[in-house]
Amino acid sequence: MFATLSDRLADTFKNLRGKGRLSEADIDATAREIRVALLEADVALPVVKEFVGAVKERARGVEVSQALNPAQQIIKIVNDELVTILGGETRRLRFAKNPPTVIMLAGLQGSGKTTLAAKLALWLKEQGSSPLLVAADLQRPNAVNQLQVNGERAGVKVYAPEPGNGVGDPVAVARGGVEEARRTLHDVVIVDTAGRLGVDAEMMQQARDIRDAVTPDEVLFVVDAMIGQDAVNTAQAFLDGVGYDGVVLTKLDGDARGGAALSVASITGKPVMFASAGEKLTDFDLFHPDRMAGRILDMGDMLTLIEQAEKTFDQEQAAKAAAKLTGQGGDFTLTDFMEQMQQIRKMGSLSKIMGMLPGMGQFRDQLDNFDEREIDRIQAIIQSMTPAERENPKIIDGSRRQRISKGSGTQVSDVNTLVDRFFEARKMMMSMAKGGGIPGMPGMPGMGGVGGGKRGKGKQAPKKGKAKRGSGNPAKRAQEQKAAAAKPQGGNGANPFGLPQGEDQPSAEDFQLPAEFSKYLPKQ
């Protein structure tokens, strides 16, 4: 969503590199580029003015003028200001002292409230809570049925006494849901309310009635991040009419410009608490302003990546794979490779995972064009092998490769590529696991590149030359030995210029040295 903004900011910062000092013209030009980038990203004009003003003021201050690298200091300032307009700190849910905690969702129709209710319930369930979903959206066709289906997928109970489709009292359903949660000992209640195509008096009144009936601990306003400036207007109107405690952004994986995400928190003064960036129920998490700013500036989001890996990876299985790479648990096989690949797939789209790494913005086109089905083809090839072939890929000869390609519906060349790349990847991973680094890189210990080798100290072993053989003629060999004995060895009898004894020795006058060098020369 923030691809355009990221690219524009990256180009702006690129113009500052290599400058030891920033002039007023440089600061003004940078501020102008940032302003254009934010406006093109559909950020609200008041937010743009405040943001650019803060950047210019800090850029003229001491922190930049005395910095060793002003360009990096400007990037730091922009990062800090992005974090500020995104809300500053991560805002977490407030839980009631006496359960159940009541969370009310509200927003426009089509913003994704019903799906988001199930995502929030699943997230809370993974945090150790016992949520109950309440179907209080009785206006939209099949809204109740959709919530029941999503609740079943999430493994969360749904309270739905009314069929919906215009039948039933939403206020009574919301009140009954809280009572049901108390009776069945659920510690969190999530109330899904009806939306409208626009902000109107009926919508506001119904939301106020539900709020007054259940007295929610948190009221969350769900905003579609793809609708642009209208998201800010709707959020402000709902804040004035009903009030809420936090904002939830949906559809952050879309291709819209995303300015609403940068504007809502600053305009309304209410923090963005959660973000949804996909269709799966697991594509949902807390909104971290600092991490989002890092993504926009192409600094990556390693903390989120690590958290996802910790939730997904089997620790015991990962430990076994690591032991094999260090040579302590047998060979790392194609079976292990496939298991690790399946663990990564559980984390989500590979393009999204790679996008969390720093500096991947320059490879955005490649990531966007990456075919996720390539992983399925690799898995099909490995699964078409016998257990013996997976354990020892070296036995896969020509006939076996042809059989594997037919079984997996691929070409023989695909099988060849997979096997060859597996051996290369295993060699690299084993070298890295043993602390040797990447094979073939020059000047690194334990590597085979220039200045490497097994010696590990950056020095090549001296090459042993072949000994010079003497002549086969005894008389000629005796003459050679006599000449070699008469030849001076090393510094024994040899002069500093390497000339044989008896030849004319050069004198100091021959070098035409300056007069002041005479004191360093031996006296004649």
Residue list, annotated binding site for GTP:
107-114, 192-196, 250-253
The alpha carbon dihedral of 42, 44, 46, 50 has a sign of negative
- The one-letter code for the residue type at 185 is L
In DSSP terms, which residues pair with 167 in a beta bridge?
164
Question: How far, in Å, CA of 109 to CA of 198, rounded?
Answer: 8
Check if the beta carbon of residue 103 is closer than 8 Å to that of residue 217. yes
CA distance 170 to 174: 6
Beta carbons within 10 angstroms of residue 177's beta carbon: 27
Q: For residue 93, give the 3-state DSSP assignment.
A: coil
Binding residue numbers: 107-114, 192-196, 250-253
The amino acid occupying position 393 is: P
Q: Identify the CA nearest to 150 among candidates 170, 125, 121, 178.
A: 121
Between CA 51 and CA 179 the distance in angstroms is 46
For residue 486, count other CB atoms closer than 10 A to its CB. Answer: 9
Structure tokens at 12: 């702006």
**Contact call for residues 354 and 380 (beta carbons, < 8 A):** no
Element holding 293 (H helix, E strand) = helix 289-296
What's the full length of the chain, in residues?
524
209: nearest Cα among 223, 197, 194: 194
Sheet of 272-276: strand order equals 157-159, 131-135, 188-192, 101-107, 218-224, 246-250, 272-276, 284-286
Nearest to 116 by CA among 56, 45, 190, 27: 190
Rg (CA), the chain: 36
Tell which residue, 83, 64, 137, 419, has the closest CA to residue 266: 83
Paired sense of beta strands 284-286 and 157-159, if any: unpaired
Helix, coil or strand: residue 51: helix
Check if the beta carbon of residue 26 is closer than 8 Å to that of residue 56: no
